[in-house]
Amino acid sequence: LSPDCSFTCHYRCRALVRLDCSGPPGTGDEDDGNEQVLEKDTNVDEPSEWEKTELDQAQVEQRIKEYNSQINSNLFMSLNKDGSYTGFIKVQLKLVRPVSVPATKRVPSLQAGRPHPQGVKRRTSFYLPKGTVKHLHILSHTRASEVIDALLRKFTVIDNPRKFALFERSEKDEQVYLRKLGDDEQPLRLRLLAGPSEKVLSFILKENETGEVNWDAFTLPELHNFLLILQREEEEHVRRLRHRYARCRQKMQEAL
């Protein structure tokens, strides 16, 4: 159990997890409880304003120049000879449920004279730290479904990619809008059309909400891990609540 981000992992699986837990607790996701969110077009029936925009080759080249002139980092977009372009997108992971990563246990072969081990695939589950962000270098024709696959590979997550969805987030008139991207939409194209501002457009990976969770679809080890994680989260939540009320009580007694 990490003291900084409350990430829980089996001690044998620590080497498989590549997460930066150096930040202070609660950073990057403190607005979840206060942010008023309106989910618009979650079934992707209507294209967004960016998706309706068509650009010819000259317009694409001009947009790339404008984009590169506005960013404050070296995450530039570059035009290729075939007319496509490459660049970076930043995706924030806001996952509520645990994810599964592989854990391989080597079991010696029972057949004499054949010493090579046989791998037995196992998995363990944990929560990704709040505010986890990943930059991906992609092509203009890279689809949203391919971005999801790449993110899962980066974190060695072995859950079915259909459990997740990529959302575009935008702010307008002090209101936050979320829209689920279709599998074939091209995130880098949306990034180019919207410009580099994260308020105008940013990307979030969330669970693909299709209804109630079917707990019967999980294996027994996964369910046991979920229960253990929930128990530790509950204990930590109770500890924080008691600490907060103890401080309030102390302040009142000092005032008295």
Q: How confident is the model at residue 214 (pLDDT cuts 50, 70, 90)?
A: low
CA distance 18 to 232: 22
Query: pLDDT band at 166, cuts 50/70/90?
Result: very high
Contact predicate 122/220, CB 8 Å: no
Among the listed residues 212, 210, 99, the one whose alpha carbon sits nearest the alpha carbon of residue 165:
210
The percent of residues above 90 in pLDDT, for the chain, comes to 38
67-102: pLDDT as tens digits: 999 988 888 999 998 889 999 999 999 988 888 888
Alpha-carbon span 220 to 100, nearest angstrom: 13
Percentage of the chain lying above the pLDDT 70 cut: 70
Position 233, amino acid: E
Mean pLDDT of the chain: 78
Q: How far is Cα 79 from Cα 64, in angstroms, rounded to an integer?
A: 8
- Output the DSSP codes for 154-203: HTT--S-GGGEEEEEEEEETTEEEEEEPPTT--HHHHHHHH-S-TTT-EE
| Closest-CA residue to 189 (of 41, 39, 43, 83) | 83
pLDDT per residue as tens digits for the range 110-164: 344 444 444 445 778 778 887 899 999 999 999 999 999 999 999 889 888 888 9
Rounding to the nearest 10 degrees, give the CA dihedral for residues 135, 140, 146, 148.
Answer: 40
Q: Determine the Cα–Cα distance for residues 209 and 199; give it in Å rounded to an integer.
A: 24
* pLDDT of 24 strictly over 70: no
**pLDDT: is 204 or 96 the higher one?**
204
